[in-house]
Structure 1
Amino acid sequence: MTLGAEDRLAIHELIALHGHLVDEGELDRLDDLFTADVVYDASDLGHGSMHGLEAVRDAARAMGERGTVGHHVTNVILTEVGEDQVRARSKAIGIKADGTSGSVRYEDVIVRGEKGWRINRRKVAARRTPSGANDANKRPE
């Protein structure tokens, strides 16, 4: 399968949709974003792994006032892995109501089904160290 421009655009818009739905509290529309059997792994953020749409909705509702008010996704990279399946890596900046922010990486498995492209698995990994601290190719001083 060669992923065409139309599919690439649809997947980019799908990834962007997450912030719009969650930030606006449209949790009843998460099926526009995720498969019914989604696995959403937020363990790295201390929220565990959620299985299924209702678990993702419940977790978002439980965050209440502690939730993120702005999800901003960038740097989307797509890799085809099979017929009707793509892996996506993207970066996101989250803004809290108190003005604090954080950076994460999303690792998604996206599948095409009867309703179009949907995220079937999402792993969220927090960025906690600057890139210079991770440089495996540093030159000795």
Structure 2
Amino acid sequence: MALTADDRFAITDLINQHGHLIDRGDFAGLAAVFTEDAPYDVTALGGGVLAGPAAIHEAALALGDGNPVAHHVTNIVLHEVTDGTVHATSKGLGIMADGSAGSVTYDDTVERTAAGWRISHRVVRPRRRPLHP
């Protein structure tokens, strides 16, 4: 299965939608982004592996004021995998209430479901050091 331009637009919109939903607290809307049982691996940020939108919601509530006030996604790159899934890599920027910022890489597995494209697995990896020779 070759990815069409429509598939690429749909997957890119899916990934972009995450930050908008989180920032406005629309956790019910995450069902349109993630599969119900999608592992959301924030182990590298100290949060473990969250299973599905309900767990993401609970973790966000637990962080409270520690949550970013804005999530921005950029540099989305899609690679079709032979089994019909898509591997998507993107960069995320989080802006905190105090004005500080952080950078992460999102590594997503995206699958076509009966309801459309959904992220079925996400790993969030922070970037804390610049490149060194």
Bucket of the pairwise TM-score, normalised by the shorter protein? over 0.9
Between 1:3-12 and 1:81-90, the stretch displaced more is 81-90
Unaligned runs of 5+ in 1: 136-141
Give CA-to-partner distance per residue, 1:34-80, whole Å, 9 cap, x none.
00010000010111111122111111121111101111111111010
Write out aligned runs for 1:1-141 (5 A). 1-131=1-131, 133=132, 135=133
Give CA-to-partner distance per residue, 1:93-112, whole Å, 9 cap, x none.
10011111100000000001
The CA deviation at 1:83 is 4.4
Question: How many pairs were matched up?
Answer: 133
Instruction: For residue 68 of structure 1, give the secondary structure of its aligned residue in structure 2.
Output: coil
How far apart, in 1, do the equivalents of 2:113 and 2:82 lie?
A: 13
Query: TM-score when scaled to structure 1?
Result: 0.90
Q: Which runs of 4+ in 1 moved over 6 A?
A: none
Higher Rg of the two aligned structures:
1
| More strand, by proportion | 1
Identity fraction in percent: 47
Aligned AA (1:96)? M
Q: Contact (CA 8 Å) 2:107, 2:123: kept in 1 or not?
A: yes
How far apart, in 2, do the equivalents of 1:83 and 1:48 lie?
A: 27
How far apart, in 2, do the equivalents of 1:60 and 1:24 lie?
A: 12
Instruction: For residue 19 of structure 2, give the secondary structure of its aligned residue in structure 1.
Output: helix
RMSD between aligned residues: 1.0
Query: TM-score when scaled to structure 2?
Result: 0.96
